[in-house]
């Protein structure tokens, strides 16, 4: 496989390492980074590429998807913070006749964690004494808050707990409403990513926690997604890939 990495930051370096270890040919594209193969997404930089992997910035990812789609290349999107443009991106992919897979977190471990949370939520749905919360920690360079992973956790919980219908991510300076789920964030240091889902009652607290030790897990999942997406058409999320692996 010939892989193009769009965005040569910390994640881009990790993906390059994992992809080369798998025997892939890799080229790097980044307008602001040093020591890259190309500065721009164009016909030359994407020539012969099978799949592109985008880990850039919320402000640039939509433009990148549009450019890459024009050259009929499939795309793995690990960039977060663009989900309000999902319908727009779906149309771009449909019109181009290409494939895209996205996730707020490509770590295989995190996606196992999502399944655990889904099953736990279905149990808690039957136990009205338990309230629910999500809290996440990330490094102080992360561009978005809450994380894409936390947003996905919020959706899983509200989809499976009938009494929770709205995710609230801002600072609360009022009493939280019963139907609201509070998703909160901390940014500090070099934390790769920690997510906690809590179920709290008068009697006890149950916490389910995932802690990333490094970015390697995200990179491994992103490269796995690129392999899975090769030759496919359509708009996918990580759950589509996980279903094909674990079911």
Q: Which residues participate in catalysis according to the annotation?
A: 138, 142
How many Cβ atoms from other residues are within 10 Å of residue 161's Cβ?
23
Question: Which structure tokens are listed for 230?
Answer: 């090769």
DSSP string for 61-86: HHHHHHHHHHTT-EEEE---S-GGGH
Pick from 246, 247, 224, 245: which is nearest to 101 by CA? 224
CA dihedral 181, 187, 192, 196 (to 10 degrees): -30
Contact 52, 73 (CB under 8 A): yes
Is the Cα torsion angle 225, 230, 235, 240 positive or negative in sign?
Answer: negative
Q: How far apart are CA 197 and CA 205, in angstroms?
A: 10
HSE-CB for 65 with a 13 A CA cutoff: 31
């Amino acid at each position: 496989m010939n892989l193009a990495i769009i965005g040569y930051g910390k994640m881009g370096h990790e993906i390059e390492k994992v992809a080369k270890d798998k025997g892939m040919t890799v080229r790097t594209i980044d307008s602001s980074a040093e020591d890259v193969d190309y500065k721009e997404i164009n016909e030359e930089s994407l020539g012969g590429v099978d799949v592109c992997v985008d880990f850039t910035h919320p402000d640039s990812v939509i433009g990148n998807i549009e450019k890459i789609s024009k050259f009929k290349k499939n795309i793995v999107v690990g960039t977060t913070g663009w989900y309000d443009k999902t319908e727009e991106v779906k149309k771009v992919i449909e019109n181009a006749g290409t494939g895209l897979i996205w996730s707020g977190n490509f770590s295989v471990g995190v996606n196992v964690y999502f399944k655990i949370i889904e099953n736990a939520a279905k149990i808690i749905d039957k136990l009205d004494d338990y309230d629910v919360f999500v809290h996440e920690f990330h490094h102080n360079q992360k561009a978005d808050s809450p994380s894409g992973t936390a947003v996905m956790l919020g959706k899983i919980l509200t989809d499976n707990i009938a009494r929770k219908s709205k995710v609230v991510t801002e600072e609360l300076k009022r009493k939280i409403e019963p139907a609201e789920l509070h998703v909160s964030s901390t940014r500090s240091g070099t934390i790769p990513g920690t997510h906690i889902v809590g179920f709290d009652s008068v009697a006890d607290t149950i916490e389910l926690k995932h802690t990333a030790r490094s970015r390697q897990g995200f990179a491994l999942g992103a490269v796995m997604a690129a392999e899975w997406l090769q030759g496919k058409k359509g708009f996918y999320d990580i759950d589509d890939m996980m279903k094909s692996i674990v079911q």
